[in-house]
Chains A and B, each alone.
Chain A
Amino acid sequence: MASLRDIRRRIKSVKNTAQITRAMQMVAASKMRKAQEAALSGRPYAELLNRVLVSLRDRVDSSMHPLLEKREVKHELVILLSTDKGLCGGLNTNLFREVLNFNADTTSFITVGRKGTQFLARTRRKVIADFALKDHPSFLETKTISKFAIEKFLGGEVDKVTVLFPLFVNTLTQRPTAIPLLPITSLEEAGLVHDGGTPAAPPEGGILFEPDAQSILDAIVPYYVHYELYQMLLGARASEHSARMVAMKSATDNAKQLVKDLTLEYNKARQASITTELLEISTAQLALG
């Protein structure tokens, strides 16, 4: 049995750990609220944008804009949105399991977040770029990433761009999801319908463009790609903070339980030592008497 001093020392260290995890839980909780708000408020916009674009795509010739063009997929590019720091439960692990579904020979990766970079290096995947982002990514910052992906796509180096990220469902659930970014795909096709908005039926007689279809497409298509990536990144951030909050909460709870168990053990040991001591005294007395 562990000595009294050992148990006391363990209780102290577990208490310290609980304090740290609780502090991290608080920090994550406040960040989570902001991140969730940012992610959720942008969703209607992203969905409407997607719907507008898809209905547009279905009405014009896909050869009108190179980003709409579906090509045979020989090389694929995956943008992996992971976290910089660990201690967020199974978030990254679940995400990386999805990475294994991609063909290692034909797939190259762009990573955001240190954990993803480390994982891909460990599994010897091809990483062509690594972007570091702050906690609150701005639209301009994410734009550099999507621009890079667009260049690769237009340059013919890759035929498909997919974003792999933890989709924020709610605080307790984050689902690792792969969404095709290029060529343009509708959310329905990607299996991601949020509100089931009915796609507008193509009107007879086509659609009028002002000033003309080409300039509209030139403006909306790249913007859509930039925005979509931004939105996904906000979702990934919300997922990260939620996962961390939940993980830290269970860590705190576990530590508390451990302190309870250890205290019980400590008291038992203390009592046992007192009993032995009493026994010794009375035996000694008997022997003397």
Chain B
Amino acid sequence: MATLRLEIVTPEARTYSDDVDSVVIPGVEGELGILPQHVALMTQLLPGELRITKNGQETRLAVGEGFVEVTGEKVSVLTDMAVPELDIDEAAAEEAMRRAEEALKNEHLDEEGLAAAQAAMLKSLAQLRVKRRKQI
């Protein structure tokens, strides 16, 4: 069976690099399931949940904004955040979210600061969603 090479790279590290069976990506136009032999595709990544299936087992990661390039046998995910479900610190994510909320209330925010605060908020939200999904 054809396999799919998945590579997730963040500015801090190469988070994930392995052969997988399929991967589901939060794209700009909704979730995107990718199987081997997928047609070449280029899209933007939104903060959300990325699901990897390998040997019938599902791994979930919280990802941030970024880009995805798909070629027939390879998926390259470039994002500013990628945290495996187990590593998500719920308290830290909540704290980050609270800080971002506060920053957004600040009226003297310039364009850059506003964008940064919004991005931070979306990222922590994505983490919380991935973490809490099981419990609900």
Residues of A within 8 A of B (CB): 41-42, 44-45, 48-49, 51-52, 55-56, 140, 143, 200, 203, 205-211, 213, 215-216, 219-220, 227
- In the complex, the answer to whether B27 meets A210 with C-beta atoms within 8 Å is yes
Interface size class of B (residues with CB under 8 A): 20 to 34
- In the complex, the answer to whether A219 meets B44 with C-beta atoms within 8 Å is yes
B56 at the interface (CB under 8 A from A): no
Label chain A's interface by main secondary structure. helix
B91 at the interface (CB under 8 A from A): no
* Nearest Cβ on chain B to A107's Cβ, whole angstroms: 29
Can you name the residue of chain B whose Cβ is closest to the Cβ of A209? B42
A41-B13, A140-B116, A203-B71 known; A48+B76 contact, CB < 8 A:
yes
B53 at the interface (CB under 8 A from A): no
- In the complex, the answer to whether A42 meets B39 with C-beta atoms within 8 Å is no
* Nearest Cβ on chain B to A16's Cβ, whole angstroms: 42
- In the complex, the answer to whether A220 meets B11 with C-beta atoms within 8 Å is no
Q: Which of the residues A44, A52, A205, A206 comes within 8 Å of B67, measured between beta carbons? A: A52
B69 at the interface (CB under 8 A from A): yes
- In the complex, the answer to whether B11 meets A207 with C-beta atoms within 8 Å is no
Chain B hits for A209, CB < 8 A: 41-43
- In the complex, the answer to whether A48 meets B9 with C-beta atoms within 8 Å is yes
* Nearest Cβ on chain A to B117's Cβ, whole angstroms: 11
* Nearest Cβ on chain A to B129's Cβ, whole angstroms: 22
Can you name the residue of chain B whose Cβ is closest to the Cβ of A51? B76
Residues of B within 8 A of A (CB): 7, 9-14, 27-29, 32, 39-44, 67, 69, 71-72, 74, 76, 78, 112, 116
Can you name the residue of chain B whose Cβ is closest to the Cβ of A231? B11
A55-B69, A210-B29 known; A41+B11 contact, CB < 8 A:
yes
A143-B112, A210-B29 known; A56+B42 contact, CB < 8 A:
yes
Besides the known contacts A216-B44, A219-B67, 18 further A-B residue pairs in the complex with CB atoms under 8 A apart? A41-B11, A42-B12, A44-B9, A45-B9, A48-B7, A49-B67, A52-B42, A55-B69, A143-B112, A200-B71, A205-B39, A207-B42, A210-B27, A210-B42, A211-B29, A211-B43, A216-B42, A220-B67
- In the complex, the answer to whether A45 meets B11 with C-beta atoms within 8 Å is yes
* Nearest Cβ on chain B to A13's Cβ, whole angstroms: 46
Can you name the residue of chain A whose Cβ is closest to the Cβ of B115? A140
Chain A hits for B39, CB < 8 A: 203, 205, 208
Can you name the residue of chain A whose Cβ is closest to the Cβ of B7? A48
Chain B hits for A207, CB < 8 A: 40-42
Can you name the residue of chain B whose Cβ is closest to the Cβ of A220? B67
